[in-house]
Structure 1
Amino acid sequence: MSIEAINWVLTQAPDLKPHLFPVLLGMANHAHPDGTGAYASIPTLAGYARKTERAVINDVQELLGEAKPKKVKQRDGSYLVVEPEQVQLIERGDQRLVAHIPVDRRPVVYNLLMHKRRDGGVIQPTPRPQSGRSAIVPGQPTAGGTGSTFTGGAARPVGRANQCKIHPGWFAHNCGGCKVDALVGGAA
């Protein structure tokens, strides 16, 4: 689930027809924070949108910008061909993301075009590494210092101030050793 993608649909996505909104919102629920990798199945999207699977397929085609012309019956009995408004808010994504799913049950992967905005402005999409891996490499220098060096565990004081007198290396107010001693009846 991606709060960023859902927020884009709710507040920043270009205006779209109301019937397309629940399908786009369902896709955003399954997308990564940058809008890529949304692979909800058609039955899942139909459940979210409370629509038939055929209606969801038509909505996806319209969101792709591939909507087909529709025939509308006139009052005099003739038909009028109406070209739908072409709105492209999604594109086909990297299908390798669903390679682990059996072929007969594999959904299509879509990317939300989150660089498109309601005000008509277009934000340049952030470049993604070609390999699909994160651009931050642990231990390598980045803009904020080094990459991920967190090893887990409790925070330990660096200097001598505020250290426990009995158990050096722990904060005096939150000493794990003193807590254990108190539980087993030792000195605290």
Structure 2
Amino acid sequence: MTVLVGILLAGGLSRRYGSPKAFAELEGELFYERAYHALAAVCDDVVIISRPELMERFSSDAEVITDLDWIEGQGPLAGILSGIIAKRADKYFVLPCDMPYVGPAETAKLLELANPSSDITTICNSTENIPLFGIWDKRVKEQLQQDLEAGQFRVMKFMEKVATEWIDSSEIHKDPLVFRNVNQPDDQMRGWQNGH
């Protein structure tokens, strides 16, 4: 049986947002809680990757870890490798906390569409790639570690080195706004005005 672990990225500095996005609220739930539920619906286990100073703010029920010492604070790839090393699995479902409109229906659909032979399955639309909502195979660990050891922290550059499958986001949800990153509080308000 394939073991699937969710990696919830919740350690960004949130400079543009003004406060840690993990604890921003939408419809009575914190962003990280929404992401956690979206992952927990399809994963055998979920681990949250965050920063030391935020650890105590998460629910005591959740497993929260920090980046490995040698790559602490070095962005999403560092968080993903830290999650892969912390939790043994066959596949990893990556989701950042600042995509609060992604829910269990979207994670289930991506899982259904993912090609098991791809190293990474992620999404795009006609205007942008959305690389951090995706399923990563354990095979990527060695290349990921090599990139980070070499100081290569760019997600897209890493994805070019492995077998990445891009699925059009419309196959998962017709509204591309569901997959946007909320980078500033007024991004969230725009979501409300659009009915999300």
TM-score category of the 2 structures, normalised to the smaller one: under 0.3
More strand by share: 2
Higher RCO structure, 1 or 2 (CA under 8 Å, sep 6+): 2
Q: TM-score if structure 1 supplies the norm length?
A: 0.24
